[in-house]
C-alpha cells in the first residue's frame, strides 16, 4: 500500500481543519470581572512555519533544560522540523515507539488512526483548527501493554527565532498495565519579536496503566504566544499523575483537561505558574468524571510579580450516573506586586448524586505573621520572603518526583524571585508600614 | 547582658495597650509575668521582639546597652533575644530541620557545617524527647498544640539566646507535655540565659520556679515581687488584685 493512500484519512482531516481555520475569527476570551485574554497585539500574518536541518548536537537551551539524567527516548522539534529523534533500542525491541508523529503516520497507520484526535477537535476555535491543519513533525509515544519503562520519555518543542509559527501535536498511548513517565518541554529563547506555538496534546492511559506526565513551559522573555489544548484520558483502574509547570511566556492560553473515563480511574493533577513583567497567563482546567467510582485530586498554585496577569479557572465536572466519585480541587494564588492582577476560580458542575466533590480557591499576599515569625529567628525580611514563596511552591515541586526537574523548577523560581526582589521588598514594606 | 524596658507605651491602630511598662531581665534570671487575658502580656512579648503590628509611642527597649526600640525583629534576634510564640506561624514547604539550619546560620558569619549541625540537632532532639522524624516535617504544619510548643522550645535550645521570652508556652498543654516543655526550659536555664515566662496560670511555675514575679493589669505592671507573689495570686485570684489596685488608686 503506497504511503499516500495510507495517509489519505489524515489529509482529509487536515483539509477540514484548514477550512475551519479559515472560517474562524481570531478569538478573545472574556470572563466576568476584569479578565480578558486578547490576541490584538499578535501579528499573525507576519509569522511563518520555519524549517531546520537536523544538527549533530542539541541546542544549549535544550541540554540546559533536560540536564544529565538518562532518558528512554527523546524527540526534539525545532520550529516545524524534528531535529533529533532517539529511542533506546532495547525498548524498541519490546515494542515501545517514540518517534515524530509524521513518521508514525507512515509506519504505524492503524495504531495512530485508532487514537489520533479521539479527545481533541479542530472545532474548538481557530488555534485548535490551526494545529490540527498545519502540524508537522510532532511526537508519537506508544508503550505497549504490560511494558514498564523506567527512564523518562522526553519531547521538546523549541522556538528560538522571531517570526516563527510552530504547530505542534503530541499523541501518547500507554497500553494496558503499562508504566512510564513522559515529560514534554516547551522552550523559547529570549527572542526579540513575536512567535506562536499552537499545540495539541493527547494522552490515553489504557486500563490499569500508570503514567507520570509533566509539562514544563518556559518560553523566555520574548513575545511568544502559546495557545494550546492538552487532554488526558484515563481508562479503567488506570492512574495518571500530571504536573504542568508554567514559568514564562508573553501570553499563554491553555485548556488542560483530565478525564477519568471509566470506573476505578484515578488522577492527580498538580500545577504551578509564576508570571512576571507583562506576561499574561490564562489557564482553564477541567477535572471531568464520566463514570462513577473515579477519583481526583487537583492542586494549582501560582505567584505573580511585575505587571503580570494570571487567571486560573478550575472546573470539576461530574457527569450523570457517576455515583461514588470522589474529587477535590484547590487553587491558590499569591500576589507579590502591587501592579500584578490575577484570579483563581474553582467551580463545580455535578450532574449526579452520591458523590463527594470539594473545591476551594484563595488569592492572597504573603502573610505578615509568617514574616514576623521568621525574622524573629534572625532571618532577614528579604530572605524570609524567598523562603516563604519557595516553601509555598514546594508541595507542587515535590509532586514531580524527579530530582533533576525539581531542581530546574526551584532554580527558575529562585531566579524570578531574585529578579523581582526590589519590587517585592517595596510591596511588602508598604504593607508592613500600613500594618 | 540586661534587657531593660523603660516607660513603654504601645498602641495598635485602634488603641493604646501598654501605658508605661518598666521591666528588667538579666541573663541568668528567671522572671514570670502574670496577668489575666487582655492585660497586655502578649503585646509586651511581641513588642520586645519588634512585631510591626505594634507601635511604640513612648519609652525604650534596651538590650546590652543598645537601643533596640526601632530595630527590625531579625536584628533583635541576632543581638540575642528570642520569643517562643503563643501561636507560632505555619511555614509550609520548609522542614523543621531546614528552618533550624537557616535560623542558626542567620547569626553566624560562616554557615555551620552540615555534620556539626546534625550533631547539635540530634542532641537537642534527644534532650526534649522529640521523635527524630519530627524534624523532617514542615514547620508547624498539621502540628498539635503540644508539638508546636515543643518546636518552639527546640528552636530556643538550638539558638541559645541571652534572653528568652516564653509567651504562654504552657497554655493548651496537657500535664505530660507541660512537664517536657518545663524540663526543657529548666535544662536550658542557667547563667547564660535569662527567661521571661509569660503566663495566665500558676501551674508552669510549679515546674520552673521564678526568682521574680510581676503582675500586669490593664497595660501596667501593678506588682513586683518574689515567688511568694505567685502563691498569693494562686490563692486570691486576679479579681482581688484588681480591687486592691483600684482602692490604692482611689486613695
Query: Helices B145-159 and B175-188 meet at what angle, rounded to 10?
Result: 10
CB A379 to CB B89 under 8 A? no
- Structural domain tally of chain A? 1
Cell numbers linked to A141: 509515544
CB A391 to CB B83 under 8 A? no
CA distances in angstroms from A351 to A221, A239, A287, A321, listed in the order given: 43, 23, 14, 8
Print the SS3 string covering chain A.
Answer: CCHHHHCHHHHHHHHHHHHHHHHCCCCCEECCCCCEECCCCCCHHHCECCCCCCCCCCCHHHHHHHCCCCCCEEEEEECCEEEEEEECHHHHHCCCEEECHHHHHHHCHHHHHHHCCCCCCCCCCHHHHHHHHHCCCCEEEEECCCCECCCCEEEEEEECCCCEEEEEEEEEEECCCCEEEEEEEEEECCCCCEEEEEEEEEEEECCCCEEEEEEEEECCCCEEEEEEEEEEEECCCCEEEEEEEECCCCEEEEEEEEEECCCCCEEEEEEEEEECCCCEEEEEEEEEECCCCCEEEEEEEEEECCCCEEEEEEEEEECCCCCCCEEEEEEEEEECCCCCEEEEEEEEEECCCCCEEEEEEEEECCCHHHHHHHHCCCCCHHHHHHHHHHHHHHHHHHHHCCHHHHHHHHHHHHHHHHHCHHHHHHHHHHHHHHC
A117: number of Cβ within 10 Å: 16
CB A368 to CB B52 under 8 A? yes
Question: In chain A, what percentage of residues exceed pLDDT 70?
Answer: 97
Asked if the C-beta of A377 comes within 8 angstroms of chain B's C-beta atoms, the answer is: yes
Cell numbers linked to A342: 490575577
Tell me the pLDDT of chain B averaged across its residues: 93
A164 has a pLDDT exceeding 90: yes
Separation in Å, CA of B227 to nearest CA in chain A: 30
CB A391 to CB B138 under 8 A? yes
Distance CA A1, CA A153 (A): 31
Q: How many residues does chain B have?
A: 251
- Closest residue of chain B to A431, computed from CA coordinates: B52
A190 torsion bin: left (phi>0), alpha (psi -120 to 50), beta (else): beta
Query: Helices A381-397 and A403-419 meet at what angle, rounded to 10?
Result: 150
Distance CA B202, CA B219 (A): 20
CB A375 to CB B53 under 8 A? no
Which residues of chain B are within 8 Å of residue A432 when distances are taken between CB atoms? Answer: 52
User: pLDDT, tens digit, for every residue of A79-98?
Assistant: 999 999 999 999 999 999 99
A2 has a pLDDT exceeding 60: no
CA distances in angstroms from A237 to A172, A205, A233, A421, listed in the order given: 18, 10, 12, 46
Distance CA A72, CA A64 (A): 18
Cell numbers linked to A353: 448524586
A170 has a pLDDT exceeding 60: yes
* First-last CA distance in chain A: 76
Separation in Å, CA of A369 to nearest CA in chain B: 7
Cell numbers linked to A193: 519579536
CB A370 to CB B159 under 8 A? no
Which residues of chain B are within 8 Å of residue A383 when distances are taken between CB atoms? Answer: 102, 106
Res A324: pLDDT = 95
Res A153: pLDDT = 98
**Confidence label for A7 from pLDDT (cuts 50, 70 and 90):** confident
Which residues of chain B are within 8 Å of residue A431 when distances are taken between CB atoms? Answer: none
Res A68: pLDDT = 84
Question: In chain A, what percentage of residues exceed pLDDT 90?
Answer: 89
Say which CATH number the domain at B10 has: 3.40.50.300
User: What average pLDDT score do residues B137-158 get?
Assistant: 94
CA distances in angstroms from B166 to A234, A383, B85, B103, listed in the order given: 53, 25, 7, 18
**Is A287 part of any domain?**
yes
- Structural domain tally of chain B? 1
Which residues of chain B are within 8 Å of residue A390 when distances are taken between CB atoms? Answer: 93
Q: What is the largest CA-CA distance in chain B?
A: 64
User: pLDDT, tens digit, for every residue of A345-385?
Assistant: 999 999 999 999 999 998 888 889 999 999 999 999 889 99
Res A435: pLDDT = 39
Separation in Å, CA of B152 to nearest CA in chain A: 11
Asked if the C-beta of A367 comes within 8 angstroms of chain B's C-beta atoms, the answer is: yes
Question: In chain B, what percentage of residues exceed pLDDT 90?
Answer: 73
Res A5: pLDDT = 60
Interface-testing mutation among B13, B71, B89, with chain A (most A C-beta atoms within 10 A):
B89
pTM across the whole model? 0.88
List the domain range (segments joined by +) for residue B6. 2-250
Q: Considering only the beta carbons, identify the residue of A367, A379, A391 that sits closest to B93.
A: A391
Q: Considering only the beta carbons, identify the residue of B74, B91, B155 that sits closest to A370.
A: B91
Asked if the C-beta of A432 comes within 8 angstroms of chain B's C-beta atoms, the answer is: yes
DSSP chain B: -EEEEEEEEEE-SS-EEEEEEEEEEETT-EEEEE--TTSSHHHHHHHHHT-TTSEEEEEEEEETTEE-TT--HHHHHHHTEEEE-SSPPPEEEEEHHHHHHHHHHHT-SSPPPHHHHHHHHHHHHHHTT--GGGGGSEETTT--HHHHHHHHHHHHHHH--SEEEEESTTTT--HHHHHHHHHHHHHH-BTTBEEEEEESSSGGGGTS--SEEEEEETTEEEEEE-HHHHHHHHHHHHHHHHHHHHHHHH-
Distance CA A193, CA A197 (A): 14
Which residues of chain B are within 8 Å of residue A373 when distances are taken between CB atoms? Answer: 85, 88-89, 91
A343 has a pLDDT exceeding 70: yes
Which residues of chain A are within 8 Å of residue B103 when distances are taken between CB atoms? Answer: 377-379
Place of cell 507535655: B177
Res A300: pLDDT = 97
User: What average pLDDT score do residues A320-336 get?
Assistant: 95
Q: Between residues A340 and A69, which one has the greater pLDDT? A: A340
* Chain B residues within 8 Å of chain A (Cβ atoms): 49-53, 72-74, 76-78, 82-83, 85, 88-94, 99, 102-103, 106-107, 138, 155, 159
Tell me the pLDDT of chain A averaged across its residues: 94
User: What average pLDDT score do residues A154-171 get?
Assistant: 98
φ, ψ dihedrals at A335, nearest 5° = -90, 130
Highest mean pLDDT (candidates A418-422, A429-433, B53-57): B53-57
Q: Considering only the beta carbons, identify the residue of B72, B90, B159 that sits closest to A375.
A: B72
**Confidence label for A430 from pLDDT (cuts 50, 70 and 90):** low
List the domain range (segments joined by +) for residue A347. 3-26+73-365
B67: number of Cβ within 10 Å: 11
Res A434: pLDDT = 45
B245 has a pLDDT exceeding 90: no
φ, ψ dihedrals at A217, nearest 5° = -110, 125
Which residues of chain B are within 8 Å of residue A272 when distances are taken between CB atoms? Answer: none
Which residues of chain A are within 8 Å of residue B106 when distances are taken between CB atoms? Answer: 377-380, 383
Cell numbers linked to B62: 534596651
Pair A343, A312: CB distance under 8 Å: yes
Q: How many residues does chain A have?
A: 435
User: pLDDT, tens digit, for every residue of B57-114?
Assistant: 999 999 999 999 999 999 999 999 999 999 999 999 999 999 999 999 999 999 999 9
Q: What angle do CA B244, B248, B249 make, to 5 degrees?
A: 120
Res A6: pLDDT = 63
CB A375 to CB B74 under 8 A? yes
Which residues of chain A are within 8 Å of residue B74 when distances are taken between CB atoms? Answer: 375-381
Pair B125, B132: CB distance under 8 Å: yes
CB A383 to CB B102 under 8 A? yes
Interface-testing mutation among A366, A370, A377, A379, with chain B (most B C-beta atoms within 10 A):
A377
A3 has a pLDDT exceeding 70: no
B199 torsion bin: left (phi>0), alpha (psi -120 to 50), beta (else): beta
Q: Considering only the beta carbons, identify the residue of A375, A388, A395 that sits closest to B73.
A: A375
User: pLDDT, tens digit, for every residue of A15-35?
Assistant: 999 999 999 999 999 886 778
Pair A179, A211: CB distance under 8 Å: yes
Q: In whole angstroms, what separates CA B212 from the centre of its chain?
A: 15
Res A1: pLDDT = 46
Distance CA B168, CA B71 (A): 24
- Number of Cβ pairs closer than 8 Å across A and B? 81
Q: Which residues contact A177 (CB under 8 A, 6 or more apart)?
A: A145, A146, A207, A208, A209
User: pLDDT, tens digit, for every residue of B172-189?
Assistant: 888 888 888 898 888 888
Cα atoms found within 13 Å of the Cα of residue A281, Cβ hemisphere only: 33
Res B127: pLDDT = 84
Amino acid at each position: 500500500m503506497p504511503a499516500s493512500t495510507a495517509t489519505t484519512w489524515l489529509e482529509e482531516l487536515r483539509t477540514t481543519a484548514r477550512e475551519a481555520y479559515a472560517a474562524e475569527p481570531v478569538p478573545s476570551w472574556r470572563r466576568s470581572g476584569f479578565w480578558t485574554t486578547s490576541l490584538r497585539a499578535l501579528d499573525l500574518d507576519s509569522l511563518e512555519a520555519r524549517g531546520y536541518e537536523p544538527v549533530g548536537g542539541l541546542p544549549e537551551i535544550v541540554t540546559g533544560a533536560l540536564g544529565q539524567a538518562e532518558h528512554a527516548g527523546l524527540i526534539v522539534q525545532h520550529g516545524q522540523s524534528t531535529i533529533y529523534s532517539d529511542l533506546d533500542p532495547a525498548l524498541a525491541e519490546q515494542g515501545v515507539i517514540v518517534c515524530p508523529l509524521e513518521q508514525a503516520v507512515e509506519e504505524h497507520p492503524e495504531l495512530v488512526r485508532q487514537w489520533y484526535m479521539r479527545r481533541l477537535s479542530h472545532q474548538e476555535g481557530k488555534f485548535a483548527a490551526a494545529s490540527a491543519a498545519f502540524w508537522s513533525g510532532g511526537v508519537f509515544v506508544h508503550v505497549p501493554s504490560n511494558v514498564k519503562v523506567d527512564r523518562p520519555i522526553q519531547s521538546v518543542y523549541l522556538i528560538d527565532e522571531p517570526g516563527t509559527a510552530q504547530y505542534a501535536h503530541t499523541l501518547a498511548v500507554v497500553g494496558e498495565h503499562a508504566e512510564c513517565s513522559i515529560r514534554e518541554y516547551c522552550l523559547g529563547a529570549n527572542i526579540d519579536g513575536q512567535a506562536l506555538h499552537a499545540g495539541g496534546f493527547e494522552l490515553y492511559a489504557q486500563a490499569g496503566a500508570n503514567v507520570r506526565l509533566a509539562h514544563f513551559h518556559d518560553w523566555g522573555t520574548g513575545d511568544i504566544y502559546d495557545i494550546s489544548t492538552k487532554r488526558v484520558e484515563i481508562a479503567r483502574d488506570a492512574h495518571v499523575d500530571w504536573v504542568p509547570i508554567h514559568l514564562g511566556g508573553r501570553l499563554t492560553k491553555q485548556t488542560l483537561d483530565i478525564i477519568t473515563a471509566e470506573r476505578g480511574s484515578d488522577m492527580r493533577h498538580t500545577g504551578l505558574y509564576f508570571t512576571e513583567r507583562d506576561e499574561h497567563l490564562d489557564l482553564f482546567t477541567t477535572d471531568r468524571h464520566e463514570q462513577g467510582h473515579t477519583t481526583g485530586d487537583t492542586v494549582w498554585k501560582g505567584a505573580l510579580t511585575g505587571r503580570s496577569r494570571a487567571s486560573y479557572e478550575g472546573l470539576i465536572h461530574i457527569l450523570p450516573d457517576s455515583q461514588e466519585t470522589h474529587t477535590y480541587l484547590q487553587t491558590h494564588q499569591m500576589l507579590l506586586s502591587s501592579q500584578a492582577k490575577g484570579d483563581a476560580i474553582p467551580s463545580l458542575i455535578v450532574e449526579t448524586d452520591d458523590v463527594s466533590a470539594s473545591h476551594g480557591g484563595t488569592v492572597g499576599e504573603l502573610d505578615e505573621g509568617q514574616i514576623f515569625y521568621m525574622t524573629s529567628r534572625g532571618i532577614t525580611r528579604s530572605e524570609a520572603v524567598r523562603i516563604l514563596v519557595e516553601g509555598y511552591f514546594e508541595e507542587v515541586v515535590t509532586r514531580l518526583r524527579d530530582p533533576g526537574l525539581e531542581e530546574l523548577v526551584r532554580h527558575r523560581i529562585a531566579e524570578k524571585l531574585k529578579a523581582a526582589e526590589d519590587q517585592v521588598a517595596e510591596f511588602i514594606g508598604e504593607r508592613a508600614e500600613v500594618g | 547582658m540586661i534587657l531593660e524596658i523603660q516607660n513603654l507605651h504601645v498602641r495598635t491602630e485602634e488603641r493604646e495597650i501598654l501605658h508605661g511598662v518598666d521591666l528588667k531581665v538579666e541573663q541568668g534570671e528567671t522572671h514570670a509575668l502574670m496577668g489575666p487575658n487582655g492585660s497586655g502580656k502578649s503585646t509586651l512579648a511581641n513588642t520586645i521582639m519588634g512585631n510591626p503590628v505594634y507601635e511604640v509611642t513612648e519609652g525604650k527597649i534596651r538590650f546590652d546597652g543598645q537601643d533596640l526600640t526601632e530595630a527590625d525583629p531579625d536584628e533583635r534576634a541576632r543581638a540575642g533575644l528570642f520569643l517562643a510564640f503563643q501561636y507560632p506561624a505555619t511555614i509550609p514547604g520548609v522542614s523543621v530541620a531546614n528552618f533550624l539550619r537557616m535560623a542558626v546560620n542567620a547569626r553566624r558569619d560562616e554557615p555551620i557545617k552540615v555534620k556539626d549541625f546534625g550533631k547539635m540537632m540530634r542532641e537537642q532532639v534527644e534532650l526534649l524527647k522529640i521523635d527524630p522524624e519530627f524534624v523532617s516535617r514542615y514547620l508547624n504544619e498539621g502540628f498539635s498544640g503540644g508539638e508546636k510548643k515543643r518546636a518552639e522550645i527546640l528552636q530556643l535550645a538550638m539558638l541559645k539566646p541571652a534572653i528568652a521570652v516564653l509567651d504562654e508556652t504552657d497554655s493548651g498543654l496537657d500535664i505530660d507535655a507541660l512537664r517536657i516543655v518545663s524540663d526543657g526550659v529548666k535544662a536550658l536555664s542557667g547563667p547564660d540565659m535569662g527567661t521571661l515566662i509569660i503566663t495566665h496560670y500558676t501551674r508552669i511555675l510549679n515546674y520552673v520556679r521564678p526568682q521574680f514575679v510581676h503582675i500586669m493589669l490593664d497595660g501596667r505592671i501593678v506588682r513586683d515581687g518574689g515567688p511568694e507573689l505567685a502563691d498569693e495570686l494562686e490563692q486570691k485570684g486576679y479579681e482581688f488584685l484588681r480591687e486592691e489596685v483600684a482602692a490604692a488608686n482611689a486613695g
